[in-house]
Amino acid sequence: MANPTITVLERHMLLYQRLWRASAFSLFILPVLFLTSIGLGVGGYIHQVDGHDYLQWITPGLIASTAFQTGANESTYGVLSEFEWVGGIKAMRSTPVRIQDMIRGWLIYVLIATELAVAAFLIVIWLAGALTPGLAISAPFVCGAVSLAIATPTTAFSAAINDQDWFLVLARFVILPATLFSGVLFPISQLPAFIQPLSYLSPLTHAVELMRDFAFGTATPMTVALHFAYLLAWIVAGWFLANITYRRRLTD
Amino acid sequence: MDTEFGPPLDDMAVLGRDLTKRFGEFTAVDAINIDVYSGECFGLLGPNGAGKSSTMRMLSCISQPTSGALTVLGTDPRREAARIRGRLGIVHQENNLDLDIKVVENLTTYARYFGFSRSECRRRAAEMLEFAQLEQKAVSKAGELSGGMQRRLAIARALVNSPEMVFLDEPTTGLDPQMRHVVWQRLLELKQRRTTLVVTTHYMEEAEQLCDRIVIMDHGHIVAEGTPQMLIKENVSQEVVELWFSETPTEETAAPLKGISEQFDVLADRIVLYVANGEEAAKEVHRRGLTPERLTIRRSTLEDVFLRLTGRTLAE
Amino acid sequence: MVTTDVSTPVPTAPRVSAARVGAVLEYFFTYSFRTREALTLLGVIWLTAVTEPVLYLLAMGLGVGSLIDSTIPVDSHQLSYIQFVAPAMLAVSCMSGAISASIFSFYTRHRHLGMFTMISTAAVSPAEVVVADWLWEIIRVTMLSAIFVAVMVVAGVVGVGNALVAFVATILVIAAFAAVGIGLSTLLRGWQDFDIITVAQTVLFLFSGTFFPIQQYPEWLQVIVQLSPLYQSIALLRALTIGDFGMALVVPIGYLLLMVVAGLLFSVRRLGRDLGR
Ligand SMILES: Nc1ncnc2c1ncn2[C@@H]1O[C@H](COP(=O)(O)OP(=O)(O)OP(=O)(O)O)[C@@H](O)[C@H]1O
Ligand SMILES: [Mg+2]
């Protein structure tokens, strides 16, 4: 008997197949662009951060940031259009597939899309000769976790709204501040003292620290466990919210 | 398994009591009782906004009733909705197809939701393509099909799991007359195989052709139910005289008709008179000095029942 | 119904009447404010519009800026990093505002809502539709750039006088990108092409001297970058915010004006063909 979650995933992968050629290009080109312009360009004016070259220092954070963006972006229009325009989810609703199967299948799809983006990023770094084992092994786990940490609440949000303009609000109030102030481009310690605790609310901050700890070999079991626990808390909370908003929309 | 009504009754496909659906303050379906027998074709009729689709969604275990008791295929949907849906075929008012993937993929992905193996899904998809006469279009994108073909695909998709009961919300709206007959033929075949059908429609001909029993809804209430013949007999007289006017008739125009029949409706273009004997009534109309542009006499139909009960024509 | 004798040549000169353009603008206006919810949402979006420049300035000025101890040379001036990067962020915000306003909203309204087909049957020429839409985008995005400039003044990055001049220049930048954006949106085949626009915008964003002077690049790359419309916009706004009013401004201003003219002419032709005129 086919697992319902898997059958939901199969549909998403089928739909993705039509798009992958277009997105494969940007998956590879965007890391190159970011690394050369920010890493090399801006890095030309920055001597060292925490004893590392700027390019070296931002690379782990940029990978985490890419995963974070993928998780968030996939879960906006992709979810809303299912409810508003596509009707695929209403079709699923007419079958034995349960709401939790729908959400689970969807999130696994987001996870796969994220890992593809992460893999492309790692390949670019490897081609540049800068891939370390620590980075290669930890990236899929950390990035998968941070992607789901933002994807679950974003999915819940997208299932609760009916006007796509709300995504503008989400982008400006949540995604942009998280991207800018999670220690990707500069250490959080540079921020005013009152902003620093806010930074630690963002799941991306924890993912960036994890990635750097693994890349530079400064990870300790304690910090790794705490960071992962925080990401897990987001995933679990988002999962419950998504179940609530999906249920409200589909049992009407 | 026991339900709220005690042990399940084998010949009852749906048993609904005081079913109510509210959206906020608005009551779309107001405490209706619905019974559907196994193997019959059950019709839901009513004007736009009557609550047909809302009722269908409750009966097909998609939406939860706000209150009331419901048993579907002998099972309680509050506990086993997903399991019951596995035995149902559901065609929504909208097609809900994936327009960017192929026609056959629409069928196979949907079949997978029911837990069939991949090869079984392919086999069933091929069978359904034949059923819907879409073999030629199997590898076209669903979005490239005409509206009528998409409707057929949606119907075929709902049958891919060989359901015991099928819900069809306005299955033939938007189809041309020929295609409509093809779909009716298919539905009659299902009926012969003892599949229970629940259909909503705006076409009286469809209801008369397919349905064993009919319920007429208006404003969330059931206003009449029975077999088509019974409904006609109970609610309208045997014959109907229609008086057509070039100008919109008013109550005044209709005043002289009072003695001929107590039952008549004044519409935008005509007055409809319900009588036992059409010929006699027509003579009487002329005797009373009314000069309609045209006068027709015919046997009464479900359409007239509908008009009598809701004050509206069906085709609006 | 008006029947046209096809043998008589239809006048092809684009006719633009201010009254009809005004009527179309008014229609866009009432459409945007059609419901209570739409209005509330619009209010929330305006509120969030302030957050964008504040966040960028904080992150770039306080964050990245604090890692950079040297000043950045621009012509004869020595700029702090935030002074260097703020006008560039302003230009980027104008660009992405105008592009998303024109491309995304023009596309939805034209292709999905059929709005322009509807309007243009009401005796409005494609040229009038394009001009009205272009003005509409300029009005909307200019409100955003005004907020951005105001934040720059409050943050002490630029003086009030220079800020006013720079604000006027943002209107030109927005006008240029909106005109080109409308033209591009008539070329899009479907949603899959939006990805290309996004990548192109990112390339411009990262390689137009936004975050660091282009002198970092090899000679040949510098020449290419100078062809970028975003580079020209940044050059204009950067010069104006530091009070560098000279003949050198002729180049970016000419470049942007050319974008306006070429973008509008192209859009009118494409839309005319789309609407079968
Ligand atoms: N999700 C919903 N939220 C709010 N109101 C709803 C919702 N679904 C239906 N309604 C309202 O409930 C009433 C009944 O709707 P329903 O779709 O059941 O009518 P219908 O009989 O199927 O009409 P039609 O013939 O037009 O399909 C309508 O007034 C409709 O506006
Ligand atoms: Mg309906």
Q: Which residues in chain C land under pLDDT 70?
A: 1-14, 32-37, 108-114, 116, 118, 120-122, 190-192, 276-277
pLDDT at C4 (0 to 100):
41
| Segment B245-262 mean pLDDT | 78
Q: What is the phi/psi pair of residue B270, to 5°?
A: -160, 170
Other C-beta atoms lying within 10 Å of the C-beta of residue B140? 14
The per-residue pLDDT for B159 is 95
Mutation site, A26, A30, A32, A45, interface C, largest C CB count within 10 A = A45
| Six-digit token string for B271 | 């007055």
Ligand 1 atom with minimal separation from the B52 CA: 21
Regarding the beta carbon of B316 and ligand 1, being less than 6 Å apart is answered no
Mean pLDDT of chain B: 87
Residue B312, pLDDT score: 66
Pick the CATH number of B9-227 from 1.10.10.10, 3.30.310.50, 2.40.50.140, 3.40.50.300: 3.40.50.300
What CATH architecture does domain B237-299 belong to? 2-Layer Sandwich (3.30)
**Which amino acid belongs to residue A85?**
W
Cβ–Cβ < 8 Å for B265, B308: yes
Beta strands in B49-206, from DSSP E residues, in sequence order: 67-72, 88-91, 165-169, 196-201
**Amino acid identity at B83:** R
CA C224/CA C232 separation, integer angstroms: 12
Average pLDDT of span B9-28? 89
Picking from B35-44, B175-184, C16-25, C204-213, which range would have the lowest pLDDT averaged per residue?
A: C16-25
Query: Which residues of chain C neighbour A30 with C-beta distances below 8 Å?
Result: 199, 202
State the DSSP H helix or E strand holding residue A72, giving kind and residue range, or none if neither.
Answer: helix A54-74
C63:A192 CB<8 A? no
Locate the ligand 1 atom nearest the alpha carbon of residue A252 and give its number: 1
Residues of chain A in Cβ contact (below 8 Å) with chain C: 19, 22-23, 25-26, 29-30, 33-34, 37-38, 40-42, 44-47, 49, 54, 163, 165-166, 168-169, 172-173, 176-177, 180-181, 185-186, 190-192
Range(s) of the domain holding residue A238: 4-251
- Distance between CA atoms of A137 and B64, rounded to whole angstroms? 47
Q: pLDDT category, B291, cuts 50, 70, 90? A: confident
Read out DSSP for A43-61? GGG---BTTB-HHHHHHHH
- How much distance in Å is there from the Cα of B93 to the middle of ligand 1? 11
Task: Supply the pLDDT for residue C10.
Answer: 44
User: What are the φ and ψ backbone dihedral angles of A120, each rounded to 5 degrees?
Assistant: -60, -45
Quick one: pLDDT at residue C11? 45
Mean pLDDT (whole number) for B34-43 = 93
Listed by start position, the domains of chain B span 9-227, 237-299
Question: ipTM score here?
Answer: 0.89
pLDDT < 50 positions in chain A: none
Contacts of B212-215 with C-beta under 8 Å, sequence gap 24+, read: B212/B40, B212/B41, B212/B42, B213/B37, B213/B40, B213/B41, B213/B42, B213/B43, B214/B42, B214/B43, B214/B44, B214/B45, B214/B302, B215/B34, B215/B42, B215/B43, B215/B44, B215/B45
Instruction: Tell me which residue of B171, B176, B234, B174 sits closest to B43, measured CA to CA.
Output: B171
pTM: 0.85
What average pLDDT does the segment B28-57 reach?
93
What is the DSSP pairing of strand B213-218 with strand B41-45? Answer: parallel
pLDDT band, very low/low/confident/very high, at B244 (cuts 50, 70, 90):
confident
Region of poorest pLDDT, from B68-72, B146-150, B228-232, C231-235: B228-232
Could you give the 3-state DSSP secondary structure of residue A75? coil
How many domains would you assign to chain A? 1
A118-158 per-position pLDDT tens digit = 999 999 999 988 889 999 999 999 999 999 999 999 999 99
Residues 152 through 211 of chain C touching chain A, CB cutoff 8 Å: 192, 195-196, 198-199, 202-203, 206-207, 211
- pLDDT at position C30 is 76
Q: Which residues contact C5 (CB under 8 A, 6 or more apart)?
A: none
Give contacts of A97 with chain B, Cβ < 8 Å: 82, 113
* Residue C119 CA, distance from chain mean position: 24
Q: What is the pLDDT of residue B81?
A: 92
Mean pLDDT of B207-221: 90
Cα C196 to the center of its chain, rounded Å: 18
Spatial separation of the C-alpha atoms in residues C232 and C215, rounded to whole Å:
15
Whether C35 and chain A come into contact, CB under 8 Å, resolves to no
